[in-house]
Amino acid sequence: MIRISILGVGLIGGSFARSLKRTATATDSFEITGYGRRRELLDRALELGVIDRGETDLARAVAAADVVVLGVPVGAVAELLRQLRPLLTPEMVITDVGSTKGSVVAAAEEVFGAIPPRFIPGHPIAGTEKSGVEAALDDLFVQRRVILTPVEGSDPHALTTVRQLWQQCGAEVVEMSVRQHDEVLAATSHLPHMLAYTLVDTLSRMEEHDDIFRFAAGGFRDFTRIASSNPRMWHDICLNNRAALLKTLEQFGTELERLQEAIRVGDSDVLLRTFTEAKQARDRYATKESSGDE
């Protein structure tokens, strides 16, 4: 029996719990405690069978835990770690599910002086535009990637434990540096969310916005789906990965200005070349994804 405490039972934390319960066996089972400040949300998680026990008291939530999972938004990690510090034991393995890793490592260094050896930062590359425990799925991580970013001095046993838990959820686990993670995710996840939010906000302010949204087709809905994601979560992600995100935004802005100028002067060659090269790159990416290749 592995005792797991999930601090923040939302979409990701709840899906992690559901996934472990789905794959549990007689010799490999889990007791999952959920922690949160609102009793009614924990009661709902209990009703749904996501957790085995719900606690609003942090000390009770992590007592005797083998693994502690930080499932709160990245902006709340530092304060949670400060509250956790006197409650942790040397044997506990700690991990998180945040979309930025530099800020999480910095928070741990600020609270503990150095990131604890048994704290393994992690980030599942999975999710939906929905939030809350009611959106949790037991197959959310199947054939999805989870990135772990161990640092110098990370405990090998703790790393193996976290890796195996995600693999039990059906995920492919990869490792990369903290810096590489934040740069890659700024480009592939954080920037697309900024574009979707900005597009919807811009269109909603136009005088004819009712007609714009009424006649929006499937492509618009597909592209802007992620603008229905949790605003507070993405607010935190932007501020906690600002350096990498600003770099990516600046590069994208330069390319957008180049296209704007091509449209202004009627430069057919630039437009066609850009669209053709983008299509070819997207088609190569889609083929790799469908074949499972890196």
pLDDT at residue 102 in the model: 97
pLDDT at residue 292 in the model: 37
Which of the residues in the chain have pLDDT under 70? 26, 287-294
pLDDT at residue 289 in the model: 58
Instruction: In whole angstroms, give the CA distance from residue 2 to residue 66.
Output: 6
Same domain, 169 and 35: yes
212: its two tokens = 């714009």
Same domain, 113 and 229: no
Same domain, 218 and 256: yes
Same domain, 111 and 167: yes
Nearest to 183 by CA among 230, 149, 145, 150: 149
The tally of domains found in the chain comes to 2
Question: 3-state SS of the chain: helix, strand, coil percent to 5?
Answer: 60, 15, 30
Going across the sheet that includes 2-7, the strands are 53-55, 30-35, 2-7, 67-70, 93-96, 119-120
Q: Give me the domain span that covers residue 210.
A: 181-291
Same domain, 279 and 144: no
Instruction: Count H helices and E strands in the chain, helices first.
Output: 13, 9
pLDDT at residue 106 in the model: 97
Instruction: In whole angstroms, give the CA distance from residue 91 to residue 66.
Output: 7
Of the residues 154, 176, 198, which one is the last residue of a structural domain? 176
Of the residues 127, 153, 176, which one is the last residue of a structural domain? 176
Instruction: Give the CATH number for residue 208.
Output: 1.10.3660.10
Same domain, 190 and 205: yes
Q: How far is CA 238 from each of CA 13, 80, 159, rounded to the nearest angstrom?
A: 21, 19, 27
Q: What is the pLDDT of residues 167-181, one digit of tens each?
A: 999 999 999 999 999
Q: What is the pLDDT of residues 193-225, one digit of tens each?
A: 999 999 999 999 988 888 888 888 888 888 899
pLDDT at residue 159 in the model: 98
Q: Which residues contact 144 (CB under 8 A, 6 or more apart)?
A: 124, 125, 126, 170, 171, 172
Of the residues 139, 161, 176, which one is the last residue of a structural domain? 176
Same domain, 185 and 172: no
List phi, psi (to 5°) of 209: -65, -30
Name residue, tokens 């492509």.
219
Same domain, 140 and 6: yes
Instruction: In whole angstroms, give the CA distance from residue 286 to residue 141.
Output: 19
Start-to-end C-alpha separation, the chain: 35
Give the torsion through C-alpha atoms of 200, 206, 212, 213, to 10 deg. 40
For the packed helices 268-291 and 242-265, what is the interaxial angle rounded to 10 degrees? 140
Same domain, 15 and 161: yes
Same domain, 155 and 189: no
Instruction: Give the CATH number for residue 19.
Output: 3.40.50.720
Same domain, 48 and 161: yes
What pTM was estimated for this model as a whole? 0.88
Same domain, 155 and 219: no
